[in-house]
Amino acid sequence: MFIIMSNKDSALSKEQQSLLKQFKKQITHPQTTQLLQQQAVEKAKAEEPENDWDLFKKATQGVQKLDHANIANLNQTKRKKLDAQTLAKRVAAEGSAETEGAELSDTQAVLNPVGSQQTLSYRIATLQHRVFEDLKAGNLRWFEAVDLHGCTVEQARAAVLQVIQMAKDENQNVIKIVHGKGPEAILKTYVNGWLRQHRDVLAFVSAPENQGGTGAVLVLLKRTEKNPKYKQ
């Protein structure tokens, strides 16, 4: 049996009286007290700091996994220069039809020898100066390159004609020819003479140092206007 005392009749301290009031409430309103306790517990949980895993799950909510098929492969091998001797053999096997029977005379080369360190430069009169300067600076991306090292004159001639034809077939207009810097600059002299005669050559110039320098030329070709592979 509980005895309820009034404040007047009690000699209890204020703290004791406060505890007594709370005890009375628990007796008279047990459901209300339980609800308040539950709310207090939930509030305490809500105020607890979230751990790293919970924060990570919140931050990545809605994020989709990457499709590896869309990731660029940075380990792709660099494109190699064409083998001139292989090209020459291909020309011999296929005949001269692929090069449209272009006949390149050696006379101009013989009459105009060039030095191993000499810078080659040629352009047709109607070519825009800006385009030629871009070619000279190496700003125009070349489609294919052929290395003439180890070739005979005839092999080099066939390779030059073949790489020009390949570019035309793909509607490309810039190629690179590596002729080397031999002491007598024989292949360099012939390449200089051949390119000046070819009807599809608009310009050529010795490459920038980082692209071969005076041991290579960048060649600008006419665009193929009516190539069935590239209908407008």
The answer as to whether 224 is a domain residue is: yes
Strand, helix or coil at 8?
coil
Q: 101: alpha, beta or left, given left = phi > 0 and alpha = psi -120 to 50?
A: left
Q: Tell me the two tokens of residue 58.
A: 């919140």
Over the stretch 115-174, which tens digit does the pLDDT of each residue have?
999 999 999 999 999 999 999 999 999 999 999 999 999 999 999 999 999 999 999 999
Please state, in angstroms and rounded to a whole number, the distance separating the CA atoms of residues 83 and 166. Answer: 14
The answer as to whether 5 is a domain residue is: no
Q: With the C-alpha atoms ordered 187, 190, 192, 197, is the resulting torsion angle positive or negative?
A: negative
The answer as to whether 154 is a domain residue is: yes
Q: Give the CATH number for residue 130.
A: 3.30.1370.110
Mean pLDDT of 11-23: 69
Q: How many CB atoms lie within 10 A of CB 100?
A: 12
Boundaries of domain holding 211? 82-230
The answer as to whether 137 is a domain residue is: yes
The answer as to whether 211 is a domain residue is: yes
186, 123 Cβ separation under 8 angstroms = no
Over the stretch 52-66, which tens digit does the pLDDT of each residue have?
667 666 666 665 554
214, 205 Cβ separation under 8 angstroms = no
The answer as to whether 189 is a domain residue is: yes
3-state helix, strand, coil in the chain (%, to 5): 45, 10, 40
Say how many domains are in the chain. 1
The answer as to whether 173 is a domain residue is: yes
The CA distances from residue 89 to 176, 190, 230, in Å, are 20, 19, 28
Residue 180 has pLDDT above 80, yes or no: yes
Please state, in angstroms and rounded to a whole number, the distance separating the CA atoms of residues 145 and 36. Answer: 83
User: To which residue do tokens 């009286």 refer?
Assistant: 17
Lowest mean pLDDT among 12-16, 87-91, 145-149, 190-194: 87-91
The answer as to whether 120 is a domain residue is: yes
